[in-house]
Amino acid sequence: MELNKLEEIVISDAKKEALKLINDITKEVNQLIISETNKINQEFDSNIERINSEYSSKRSYIEFTMDSNQKKKVLHLKHTLINELRENLNKNLNELVKKDPFKYLIFTINNSKIDSGEFCVSKDLEQVISSDIFIKCINRLNIKNIHYSGLDNDIESGVSIRKDKVKYIFLLSEITDKFLEENIKIIHEKLFNE
């Protein structure tokens, strides 16, 4: 009987040992599973963070690029509108000078503060500002030392006065540019609601 008892004891001890071994292996496997799961979760979180960062960066770049392109288009449009306005103002001013060259001459000579020299006109104003109109203007302003010399091929629409060796140029476009410069804020408010 002792053999049976001994067998039972050995089997019981083997069962206990096997159960302990199974429990230890189960704990180790569970710990390994938890450890690997944590590593996978950390890697997943890291990848999500990296992807979100890349997405945010690319989105910011695209938004910046789109915003920049929009601003360029708006600036180009504003520039185009201002240039068209400048062209229209130049045309209108040219028409006004052609209708009443006397006013333009008085304005230009008074603002020039030049009291002697040779007066010349651009090709487009040659037929408009004749020597007769010039003489009437000079007489009205009581200036004796400015003389009409005719055509100045070197200038655009406007007039010039040569005094000594210096040539003073008074372009119609300068009047327009000065007007735009002085009124640019109002123009922007009216055209662009700024």
Dump the DSSP string for 31-42: HHHHHHHHHHHH
At 58, list the tokens.
Answer: 């690319």
In the chain, the largest separation of any two C-alpha atoms, in whole Å, equals 155
Asked whether residue 70 is domain-assigned, the answer is: no
The pLDDT, as a whole number, for residue 194 is 64
How far is residue 61's CA from residue 57's CA, in Å, rounded to a whole number? 6
One pLDDT digit (tens) per residue for the chain, 194 residues: 577 887 888 888 888 888 888 888 899 888 988 998 999 899 988 988 998 898 888 888 888 888 888 889 988 988 898 899 999 999 999 999 999 998 999 989 888 888 889 999 999 998 899 889 999 988 888 888 989 999 999 998 999 999 988 999 999 999 999 999 998 888 888 877 76
At 15, list the tokens.
Answer: 């069962």
Domain that holds residue 169: 100-192
How far is residue 151's CA from residue 154's CA, in Å, rounded to a whole number? 9
- Where residue 136 sits, what CATH number does that domain have? 3.30.2320.30
Asked whether residue 58 is domain-assigned, the answer is: no
Asked whether residue 178 is domain-assigned, the answer is: yes
Asked whether residue 137 is domain-assigned, the answer is: yes
The pLDDT, as a whole number, for residue 1 is 57
Q: What is the CA radius of gyration of the chain?
A: 46
SS3 32: helix
Asked whether residue 75 is domain-assigned, the answer is: no
The pLDDT, as a whole number, for residue 121 is 94
Strands 158-163 and 145-151: unpaired
Query: What separation in angstroms does the CA of 190 have from each of 150, 156, 157, 193?
Result: 41, 30, 28, 6
DSSP state of 154: T
How far is residue 125's CA from residue 171's CA, in Å, rounded to a whole number? 11
Asked whether residue 25 is domain-assigned, the answer is: no
The pLDDT, as a whole number, for residue 16 is 86
Residue among 82, 97, 93 at smallest CA distance from 137: 97
Asked whether residue 9 is domain-assigned, the answer is: no
Render 67-106 in DSSP notation, one character per residue. HHHHHHHHHHHHHHHHHHHHHHHHHHHHHHHHH-HHHHHH
Asked whether residue 77 is domain-assigned, the answer is: no
Please tell me the total count of domains within the chain.
1
Give the pTM.
0.63
